[in-house]
Amino acid sequence: MGIDVSNLSKNYGAEVVLKGLNLSIPDNSFTSIVAPTGAGKTTLLRVMAGVEKPTEGKVYYDGEDVTDVPVQNRKISMVYQQFINYPSLTLYENIASPLRVSEENFSEEEIDARVQEVAELLNIRDLLDHLPEEASGGEKQRTAIARALIKEPQFTFLDEPLANLDYKLREELRGQFQLIFQEEQSTFIYATPAPEDALSMSSHIGFLHDKNILQFGESEEVYYHPGYVEVGSYLNEPQMNVLNAELIEEEGTKCFRVSDELQVEAFDQEKLETGRSYLLGIRPQDLEIGELEGSVTFDTVVSFNEIVGSTTTLHSDHQGQEIIIFVPEPKRRPEGERLTISLDPQLIYVFDQETSEIVTQGSRTTLGEKK
Amino acid sequence: MKKRNFAVWIYFAFLLLPLYWMVNTSFKTNNEILNYMTWFPQNFTVKNYVQIFTSPFWRRGFLNSIAFVSLNVVIVIIAAVPAAYAFSRWDFRGDKHLFFWLLTNRMAPTAAFIVPFFALYSNIGLFDTHLAVALAHALFNLPLAIWILEGFMSGIPRQIDETAFVDGYSFPRFFWKIFRPLISQGIAVAAFFAFLFSWVELLLARTLTSTAAKPITVTLSRSLGAGGWDWGVLAAAGVLTMVPGALVVYFIRNLMAKGFAMGRV
């Protein structure tokens, strides 16, 4: 059950945004649709919600074809990136509005009880008599979410609801979201370009790439077993290192050759073809500065430092290939400094260079296997 | 700074002089008007105003004007609001061309429409009715109103419409409860422009009426009495003609200030 999307295409004039997309979102899940900006997340959400018609294909809610059902007759709600509220109504009336137009004819007491309840949940009880223009960005978005929750929808669509908030507020609201959404009996579909949002909140992740869903599965599954280099690279923060390597054979053992200096003995040798090119995916947090026993070491030259919060994303260069190293402290290293990096070969993901599909991954790349 | 103020005062002086002269004249006797140039009425009189208010000839002119102007504003707003919504929210074949073509209607000279309007209205029995003038003025006012309202509506995020539909609003209910308050200023501005054009327009109003629906502007331009022009009465009528416009501007000035800033005026 849940939402099923079958062979969905959406064009805007000559521009193809989604093509032949299939997706099954399980009931009571919190599913994130993750993709870079402009990949069509919003379009997919809008078509699933029914505010836009697909060019081709069908949308099913609980197995029932709803492709032609107008949005008024669907039990859904939607929250936008922009803070959308009715400007002429108070926050109270904004939140109460779905109940007021509902065919169920709620009594004034019922409406008041529900409004107070969701307002409490979203921490906006003191502001209910304000107009939207008198509320801050965060409060506006809380109101929009309260309005989305009050009608107890079957499906709730959230289109980058945190994108227009400043950093601290984002963090705060993201934490609260997890609590709120756990309590609500609804299926949430959340579009976001931010992997950290998706990983922290969602039970399932669908990665949208090139007009289609490239990989869909439970969040941990998608994170630890990326099916494609795009998925693995994007979902890591900072993004996964992707190194070009050629498979060579020396004295009967197959080796990945990144450069003369960096050669790693291959695992799962029978799956690999000598002379073929592969992409090695290495998470920046899996690289260590300094020499570690049992690791392969190689040299890089620091190109620049990027301090993110209280951590550093260190960009460096190894023979023309960029190596990103995650340093768990805000520390600048001088440009041009030569570093020795240790790499555990069992932390490598191997992708095929032509198809970008996963070929094999090291034994310590999965959950619980890390040191 | 001083220099700039000075220029502004000069400008206002030139602007207000004819208006002042009309008000001044309206309180004079014909003898004084014709024989002396005086800055203030020597023999202050309200006789001219009394004559207008007591004469059914003038009163009817005012009432006729008010009738067809109101009718025109109502027609224009009722037609322009849905049209502007369609142009603002929906994509349909030729929408941009149609939108521009509408505006070009506004550019056509009024005189070009006199003969067809006259012939048409005479044939269908609309000649010399308030509706005839109101409809003819709608040809010019409607495009402008649509243009203004479209600008307003496009300034309101589409997502508000969508959110309302997702919440379960039917279209009419959404339009009345949510959308109407948001465009009320636009409606005020559009209505003002429709009023303004219709109130002062002379050519169509004169051609399409004879006696039953003759508006005040026509009365003004035709009030040649047996003893020549009655300048005092004419000036008083001119003052009274400006009053409704001034009142409208006064009451919707706050709406308009924001309206001018937001819309496409």
Cα torsion B98, B100, B103, B108: sign: negative
Q: What is the pTM of this model?
A: 0.82
Task: State both tokens at B100.
Answer: 């521009």
Say yes or no: A267 contacts chain B, CB-CB below 8 A: no
Query: Is there a contact between B166 and A84 if contact means CB atoms under 8 Å apart?
Result: no
Say yes or no: A336 contacts chain B, CB-CB below 8 A: no
Q: DSSP secondary structure string, B116-138?
A: HHHHHHHHTT-TTSHHHHHHHHH
Please enumerate in sequence order all residues whose Cβ is within 8 A of that of B69, keeping only pairs 6 or more positions apart, or say none: B134, B195, B198, B199
Tell me what the mean pLDDT of segment B22-26 comes to.
91
Which residues in chain B have their CB less than 8 angstroms from residue A76's CB?
Answer: 166
pLDDT for residue B185: 86
List the single residue in B with minimal CA-CA distance to A87: B182
Least confident of A122-131, B53-62, B155-164: B53-62
Nearest to A80 among B159, B164, B169 (CB): B159
Nearest to A84 among B160, B169, B181 (CB): B160
* Share of residues in chain A with pLDDT > 90 (%): 75
pLDDT for residue B102: 85
Say yes or no: B160 contacts chain A, CB-CB below 8 A: yes
Residue A55 half-sphere exposure, CB side, CA atoms within 13 Å?
15
pLDDT for residue A294: 82
DSSP 8-state symbol, B169: -
Could you report the per-residue pLDDT of A92-121, keeping only the tens digit for each? 999 999 999 988 889 999 999 999 999 998
Could you report the per-residue pLDDT of A186-198, keeping only the tens digit for each? 899 999 999 988 9
The percent helix, strand, coil of chain A (3-state, each to 5) is 25, 35, 35
In a domain, B23, yes or no: no
Could you report the per-residue pLDDT of A224-273, keeping only the tens digit for each? 999 999 999 999 989 999 999 999 988 888 999 999 889 998 888 888 88
Tell me how long chain B is: 265
Least confident of A33-47, A106-120, A211-225, B209-223: B209-223
Nearest to A144 by CA among A205, A89, A210: A89
Q: How does the average pLDDT of chain A come out, rounded?
A: 91
Say yes or no: B167 contacts chain A, CB-CB below 8 A: yes
Which residues in chain A have their CB less than 8 angstroms from residue B152's CB?
Answer: none
Nearest to B168 among A49, A89, A98 (CB): A98
Query: Is there a contact between B168 and A72 if contact means CB atoms under 8 Å apart?
Result: yes
Tell me what the mean pLDDT of segment B237-254 comes to.
85
List the single residue in B with minimal CA-CA distance to A155: B166
Query: Is there a contact between B163 and A84 if contact means CB atoms under 8 Å apart?
Result: yes
pLDDT score of B224 more than 70: no
Calculate helix-pair angle for B231-251, B47-54, nearest 10 degrees.
Answer: 80
Could you report the per-residue pLDDT of A288-309, keeping only the tens digit for each? 999 988 889 999 999 999 998 8
User: Looking at residue B127, which CATH number applies to its domain?
Assistant: 1.10.3720.10
Could you report the per-residue pLDDT of A29-38, keeping only the tens digit for each? 999 999 998 8
pLDDT for residue B36: 83
Query: Is there a contact between A77 and B168 if contact means CB atoms under 8 Å apart?
Result: no
In a domain, B250, yes or no: yes
The owner of tokens 């009053």 is B243
Query: Is there a contact between B165 and A101 if contact means CB atoms under 8 Å apart?
Result: no
In a domain, B5, yes or no: no
List Cα–Cα distances, B121 to B71, B137, B211, in angstroms.
17, 13, 15
In a domain, B49, yes or no: yes
pLDDT score of B95 more than 60: yes
In a domain, B14, yes or no: no
Count CB atoms within 10 A of the CB of residue B24.
16
| Cβ contact B195:B69 at 8 Å | yes
- Candidate CATH numbers 3.40.50.300, 3.30.70.360, 3.40.1550.10, 2.40.50.140; the one for domain A3-226: 3.40.50.300
Q: What is the DSSP pairing of strand A204-209 with strand A30-34?
A: parallel
In a domain, B209, yes or no: yes
* Share of residues in chain A with pLDDT > 70 (%): 99
Chain B (168-227) residues lying within 8 Å, Cβ to Cβ, of chain A: 168-170, 173, 178, 181-182
Query: Is there a contact between B165 and A147 if contact means CB atoms under 8 Å apart?
Result: no
Query: Is there a contact between A80 and B163 if contact means CB atoms under 8 Å apart?
Result: yes
Interface size, chain A vs chain B, as Cβ–Cβ contacts under 8 Å: 55
Tell me what the mean pLDDT of segment B76-102 comes to.
91
CATH code, residues A233-361: 2.40.50.140
The span from the first CA to the last CA of chain A, in angstroms, equals 39
The span from the first CA to the last CA of chain B, in angstroms, equals 29
Q: Which is higher by pLDDT, A368 or A325?
A: A325
| CATH 2.40.50.140 segments of chain A | 233-361
The range of the structural domain enclosing residue B248 comes to: 44-262
Say yes or no: A95 contacts chain B, CB-CB below 8 A: no
Tell me what the mean pLDDT of segment A266-287 comes to.
91
Say yes or no: B162 contacts chain A, CB-CB below 8 A: yes
Least confident of A245-254, A318-327, B40-49, B221-230: B221-230
Angstroms from A129 CA to nearest CA on chain B: 17
Could you report the per-residue pLDDT of A217-236, keeping only the tens digit for each? 999 999 999 999 999 999 99
Query: Is there a contact between B160 and A102 if contact means CB atoms under 8 Å apart?
Result: no
- B1 pLDDT tier (thresholds 50, 70, 90): low
Which residues in chain A have their CB less than 8 angstroms from residue B159's CB?
Answer: 80, 82, 84
| Cβ contact A364:A370 at 8 Å | yes
The number of helix segments (H) and strand segments (E) in chain A equals 8, 21
Query: Is there a contact between A77 and B178 if contact means CB atoms under 8 Å apart?
Result: no
Say yes or no: A70 contacts chain B, CB-CB below 8 A: yes
Three-state DSSP class for residue A24: strand
Q: Which is higher by pLDDT, A33 or A169?
A: A33
pLDDT for residue B263: 56
- Please count the structural domains in chain B: 1
Please give the radius of gyration of chain A, using alpha carbons only, rounded to the nearest integer: 24
pLDDT for residue A371: 47
Could you report the per-residue pLDDT of A147-168, keeping only the tens digit for each? 999 988 999 999 999 888 888 8
Least confident of A145-149, A337-341, B35-39, B223-227: B223-227
Query: Is there a contact between B166 and A71 if contact means CB atoms under 8 Å apart?
Result: yes
Query: Is there a contact between B168 and A49 if contact means CB atoms under 8 Å apart?
Result: no
Q: Which stretches does DSSP call E strand in chain B?
A: 224-225, 228-229
| CATH 3.40.50.300 segments of chain A | 3-226
In a domain, B116, yes or no: yes
pLDDT score of B259 more than 70: no
Query: Is there a contact between A51 and B162 if contact means CB atoms under 8 Å apart?
Result: yes
Say yes or no: A151 contacts chain B, CB-CB below 8 A: yes
